[in-house]
Amino acid sequence: MLRAVLFDIDGTLVDSNDLHARAWQEAFAKFGFEIPFSRVRSQIGKGSDQLLPALIGEVDAKRTGEKLAEYRSRLFQEKYLDQVRPFPRVRELFQRILRDGRKIALATSASQEELSELKKIAHIDDLIHEETSADDAEKSKPHPDIVASALKRVAVHADEAVFVGDTPYDAMAATKIHVRTIGVLCGRFPEQELRKAGAMEIYESPSDLLARYEKSALAEASAAA
């Protein structure tokens, strides 16, 4: 029986992936690293602990990573956060899930500070049972730590949950601990990459998932039945 639905937030519930990539690219340039936007964009969905080594290598990540990540965080909040918009019908999707008697948790590589603001933008801060962020895990996605922490907080087993995310790193993280994954394409990662990473179902967006709810993995025997 499905008892909980876990969600990523960036690129899944709010349209923020390109903005995060711009902030990272600008931060890298500030610290002397000129990295093409497309290369930065391909790593969005990872936390800074995984993204930095992937783009500038382990040595430079250890040397400048902490200061670079702090600068990027300030830059995003000061310059880009007010440009983030929610995807349509996210709140309605959450309300439908709650009517079926399921718990909802957020499992994201965002920092706790960013997560607090993104929940408000998505209009879901009053609909969530639990949340985990990059601050709650030793390693961020594609490692499973954040997803495992979310499962623990809602007190369900892996086979009683579904994870909804937009990046291959979401699917990898969930699949590693045997949590089924639904992929959404609104984060603009290729469907083939999501399926290869383990997504069992693919939808265009939260509104598409809501429209086809009865045929999705979210519609299995209701916890409220």
Among 157, 211, 159, 160, CA closest to 184? 211
Could you tell me if 105 and 200 lie in one domain? yes
**Inside any domain, residue 176:** yes
**Inside any domain, residue 196:** yes
Q: Give residue-wise pLDDT tens across range 119-133.
A: 999 999 999 999 998
Could you tell me if 208 and 158 lie in one domain? yes
Angle formed by the axes of helices 168-175 and 145-154, to 10°?
60
Residues 171, 176: Cα–Cα separation, whole Å: 8
Residue 157 to residues 8, 74, 147, 148, 203, Cα–Cα distance (Å): 18, 36, 11, 10, 24
Among 8, 5, 4, 1, CA closest to 187? 8
- Average pLDDT of span 2-29: 98
Instruction: Name the E strands within the chain.
Output: 4-7, 14-15, 85-86, 103-107, 130-132, 161-165, 180-184, 201-203
Average pLDDT over the chain, rounded to an integer: 95
Q: Is the overall model pTM greater than 0.85, yes or no?
A: yes
Buried b (16+ CB within 10 A) or exposed e, 81-95: beebebbebbbebbe
Angle, CA 121 vertex, CA 170 and CA 210 arms, to 5°: 60
**Non-local CB neighbours of 53 within 8 Å, separated by 6+ positions:** 61, 65
Q: Give residue-wise pLDDT tens across range 65-104.
A: 999 999 999 999 999 999 999 999 999 999 999 999 999 9
Could you tell me if 43 and 132 lie in one domain? no
Q: Judge whether residue 225 has pLDDT over 90.
A: no
The residue segments making up the domain with residue 24 are 17-83
**Non-local CB neighbours of 169 within 8 Å, separated by 6+ positions:** 45, 46, 50, 109, 141, 142, 197
Could you tell me if 44 and 11 lie in one domain? no
Residue 136: its pLDDT value, please? 87
Domain boundary residue, one of 53, 83, 113: 83
**Inside any domain, residue 224:** no
Q: Kindly report the backbone phi and psi dihedral angles of residue 4, in degrees, each rounded to the nearest multiple of 5, phi listed first.
A: -150, 145
Provide the CATH number for the domain around residue 55. 1.10.150
Among 80, 90, 167, CA closest to 122? 90
Q: Give residue-wise pLDDT tens across range 130-187.
A: 999 888 889 999 999 999 999 999 999 999 999 999 999 999 999 999 999 999 999 9
Q: Indicate the number of domains in the chain.
A: 2
